[in-house]
Amino acid sequence: MTRHRPHPYVGLPDRQFWKKERGIVDPEALDPVGKMPFTLSRTDRVVTAGSCFAQHVARYLTQSGFNHLITEQPHAILQPKVVTDFNYRVFSARYGNVYTARQLLQLLQRAYGQFTPRADHWPRGSAGRVVDPFRPQIQPEGFTSAAELAEDRKMHLAAVRHAIEAMDVFVFTLGLTEAWIDRRDGAVFPLAPGVAGGRYDPDTVIFHNFDETETAADLLAALHFIRARNPRVRFILTVSPVPLNATMEDRHVLLSTTWSKAVLRIAAERATRALADTCYFPSYEIITAPHVRGRYFAADCREVLDAGVAHVMGLFFHHFANVPLASGAAKPAAGTAQQEERPDAHVARMEELNRIHCDEEALDNAPTLAGSALTTGV
């Protein structure tokens, strides 16, 4: 005779009950990560891409001895201290921040010659310099000419192809749903023209906010595109916990942030259910959980502090590589052994550890254009 439980929740694991979460009492013990479908070794070639927060993932992989695959190396003339300023080794290739799923899909299509956008270059400043519309902030002060940009782009897209075909694991962090689109061919830009190059012309570009159906379709199309060229690749998807810096929607930026994150989370979930060897890692949930009581955000309620990044990456290494949690943290730089520091020295060091390139931040510095909506665009 079958013995029935009083109700279906009896006997379920503690992780499925809110009040049994240890993180309520000890925020550092918060661990919402479930069983991962695969593991990560130090020899696996890992490619990273996505929003600003994805740069933290790349940094920790490198500093913790994992194989963060870099396929686009800096020019020999660059001094080591300015390599990051030119966006080398920030991600696997020098594509800058890839915010939307549509932007990722079009990057792949451009790399394989399946899409050539009408927008070839944008002017920057009055000295004849230009920027790449799809990587507007990778080159300080821009390129000296369209010809120089074209040559750099050729090498860049070759590096993207190399990364796709050589990687074992692809970590993609979804960041935004709001975007600016070229009306002529549908090309998606990471920034509105005029913010970091180019000129804003409402007859040429249009604002668009991708919904959950569009985002999920674009993400799945991008992942299928990659797997068609690299059948062995495994995917790790995350959602950036960083709120929007600005919104073009006529509403409070907090409401646009929650809507955007919900859309991205739905898209990631659909992808994990549709594709084998694809999983979601809850970076967003760890940083924004009520358990941590906001302690992982800086005073601006937007910047993620290093303690939060360390919590996320500690769990990442623990669950994917069986590395003890304490070992997942970034190692101190040489000469910063355990010793007392001046407060200003400590702040400077933490700023360096957390320095990331974020196109959205350019919105705060964008010139005000009378009669345009540029300064609030993403």
Question: For 46-70, how does the pLDDT look when each residue is reduced to its tens digit (9 = 90+)?
Answer: 999 998 788 888 889 888 889 999 9
Q: Which of 18-32, 45-59, 226-240, 331-345 has the highest mean pLDDT?
A: 226-240
Domain contains 10: no
> Considering its fold, how many domains does the chain have in total?
1
Domain contains 86: yes
* Predicted pLDDT at 325: 66
The crossing angle, in degrees rounded to 10, of helices 212-229 and 146-166 is 70
Name which of 188, 211, 180, 99 is nearest 366 in CA terms. 180
Helices (H) and strands (E) in the chain, counts: 9, 9
Domain contains 12: no
Measure the CA–CA gap between 241 and 239, rounded to whole angstroms: 6
Q: Write the pLDDT tens digit of every residue in 123-143.
A: 998 788 999 999 998 888 899
Q: Convert 50-89 to b/e letters by CB count within 10 Å (16 or more is b).
A: bbbbbbbbbbbbbbbebbbbbbbebeeeeeeeeebeebbb
* Predicted pLDDT at 165: 98
* Predicted pLDDT at 238: 96
274: pLDDT strictly greater than 60: yes
Domain contains 231: yes
CA distances from 132 to 92, 234, 309, 349 (A): 18, 30, 30, 31
Note the Cα 154 to chain centre separation in Å: 23
| DSSP conformation class of 118 | S
Structural domain boundaries, residue 55: 22-332+341-376
355: pLDDT strictly greater than 80: no
Domain contains 209: yes
In this structure, what token pair is assigned to residue 232?
């062995």
Q: How confident is the model at residue 362 (pLDDT cuts 50, 70, 90)?
A: low
Specify the DSSP element, H or E, that contains 205.
strand 205-209
343: pLDDT strictly greater than 80: no
Name which of 375, 52, 361 is nearest 194 in CA terms. 375
Indicate if the alpha-carbon torsion angle 43, 44, 45, 46 is positive or negative.
negative
Region 177-183 average pLDDT: 98
Angle at 174 between CA 171 and CA 176, to 5 degrees: 160
In this structure, what token pair is assigned to residue 38?
């695969």
Domain contains 41: yes
Torsion angle (degrees, nearest 10) of CA 272, 55, 98, 88: -130
- For residues 49 and 98, the answer to whether their CB atoms sit within 8 Å is yes
Domain contains 322: yes
Q: How confident is the model at residue 87 (pLDDT cuts 50, 70, 90)?
A: confident
Residue 19 phi, psi dihedral angles, 5° rounding: -75, -10
Q: How confident is the model at residue 354 (pLDDT cuts 50, 70, 90)?
A: very low
Domain contains 168: yes
